[in-house]
Amino acid sequence: RLTASAADETGRLASEWASVTDDPGAQTLLGARPTGVGKTRYMVGRSRALEEISALVERCAPLDTTVLVTGESGTGKELVAEALHRLSGRRDEPFLVINCATLEPALLESELFGHERGAFTGAVARKLGKLELVGGGTLFLDEVGELPLEAQAKLLRAIDRREFVRLGGRDTLRARARFVAATHRDLDALVREGRFREDLLFRLRVVEIRLPPLRERTEDIEPLVKLFLEELRVRIPTPVKRFSDEALAVLERYRFPGNVRELRNIVERCLIFCRDEVVAPQALPAEVRAAAGAGEEASGGVLTLEESERRQIVRALEAADGNKTKAARMLGIDRTTLYAKLRRYGIGS
């Protein structure tokens, strides 16, 4: 969602964006992928949701606005962060990623802010942190929900006052980076639990870009399969030329807990194991067939009530363009009931 403050800012700076897009040099820097949505060239898909995301990325990229990217694992959060960088005036400066979940707290702070010699045991020399190394580029804070509270306070200062200090250091340094953060967690819930600072959340979420799970934008599956086929064929010798319509239909019924990353892995497995030019449903991994198609085949096209309810809900949401009040009305239930069902089926995030 675009908050009011961000909307003002984007409105005011729209002319700056025009000059960036008009720059012919920018076109060649957009990445290797030949196809894609809008100017975010390497993001592929044709769902309404992805088109909107692409438009939002284009709009926010040239601004200094901090962006929070949310969505389940494998939905393309890092790709959005990269697009924000490549479509910005900072594209010639570094894009650095810091994964807030993988390092222990002390190491994480040192990785972010750097440290002076002797700052802690083992700090035998000065080390520059990513915030310093990135200069005027983009710093991508991945899994930002895992950031320990102490580091959160320091990050807030870096975003808010543009200041930071190396661990064990005395000099106040200037943070010039643009920040993009991502998480698959519900940060509002973390705030309620006292594990995430509310003031930091406000700072990070000037603009939020929500990536819906792949099962809610099945129109993206076909173009993504094509893209991955082309990309993977380069390094995997395979007779496969395309997926049959039936195989695509099975994929469209699958839930993809691992989202786009999982789809890519499925395509890769098919290229390795399928001996035909056309991938048929039988060549898809067993769990995909079991979860998606086989249920229907085995019971003569009959779905469980639960599954048919789930599909009707997804359909209603699609028909209502994601408007839940409208979708609830179409389904003949009230909004609270719809919300309960969405939670139960894990639709939305």
Ligand X SMILES: Nc1ncnc2c1ncn2[C@@H]1O[C@H](COP(=O)(O)OP(=O)(O)OP(=O)(O)O)[C@@H](O)[C@H]1O
Residue 185 parent element (H or E) = none
Asked if 78 touches Mg ion (CB under 5 A), the answer is yes
User: What is the separation, in whole angstroms, between the first and last Cα of the chain?
Assistant: 14
Of 156 and 347, nearer to ligand X (C-beta) is 347
Read off the tokens for 166.
């190396």
Asked if 283 touches ligand X (CB under 6 A), the answer is no
Read off the tokens for 205.
């979420």
The whole-angstrom separation of Cα 139 and Cα 159 is 11
Which of residues 39, 49, 65, 71 is near ligand X by CB under 6 A?
71
Which of residues 77, 86, 203, 215 is near ligand X by CB under 6 A?
77
* Contact stretch for ligand X (CB under 6 A) within 76-84, 130-138, 155-163, 322-330: 76-84
Which of residues 166, 178, 253, 264 is near ligand X by CB under 6 A?
264
Asked if 143 touches Mg ion (CB under 5 A), the answer is no
The whole-angstrom separation of Cα 285 and Cα 311 is 22
Binding mask 168-207 for ligand X (x = CB under 6 A): ----------------x-----------------------
Of 52 and 143, nearer to Mg ion (C-beta) is 143
- Kindly state the smallest distance separating residue 261's Cβ from ligand X, in Å: 4
Of 78 and 309, nearer to Mg ion (C-beta) is 78
Neighbours of 58 (CB within 10 A): 19
Asked if 76 touches ligand X (CB under 6 A), the answer is yes
Task: Specify whether the CB–CB gap between 220 and 214 falls below 8 A.
Answer: yes
**To the nearest 5 percent, what fractions of the chain are helix, strand and coil?**
50, 10, 35
Diameter of the chain measured on Cα atoms: 73
Q: Is 275 exposed, middle or buried (0-12, 13-18, 19+ CB in 10 A)?
A: exposed
- Kindly state the smallest distance separating residue 75's Cβ from ligand X, in Å: 5
The whole-angstrom separation of Cα 180 and Cα 174 is 18
Residue 56, amino acid = L
* Contact stretch for ligand X (CB under 6 A) within 18-26, 75-83, 85-93, 186-194: 75-83
Asked if 307 touches Mg ion (CB under 5 A), the answer is no
Asked if 68 touches ligand X (CB under 6 A), the answer is no
Of 77 and 127, nearer to ligand X (C-beta) is 77
Q: Which of positions 224-253 make contact with ligand X (CB under 6 A)?
A: 224, 227
Read off the tokens for 321.
């363009």
Asked if 289 touches ligand X (CB under 6 A), the answer is no
DSSP 280-324: -GGGS-HHHIIIIIIHHHHTTTPPPHHHHHHHHHHHHHHHTTT-H
Of 95 and 113, nearer to ligand X (C-beta) is 95
Task: Specify whether the CB–CB gap between 134 and 94 falls below 8 A.
Answer: yes
The residue to which tokens 């319509």 are assigned: 245
- Kindly state the smallest distance separating residue 212's Cβ from ligand X, in Å: 11
Which of residues 260, 274, 313, 338 is near ligand X by CB under 6 A?
260
56 binds, among ligand X, Mg ion, none (CB under 5 to 8 A by kind): none
List residues near ligand X by CB under 6 A. Answer: 43-45, 71, 73-79, 184, 224, 227, 260-261, 264
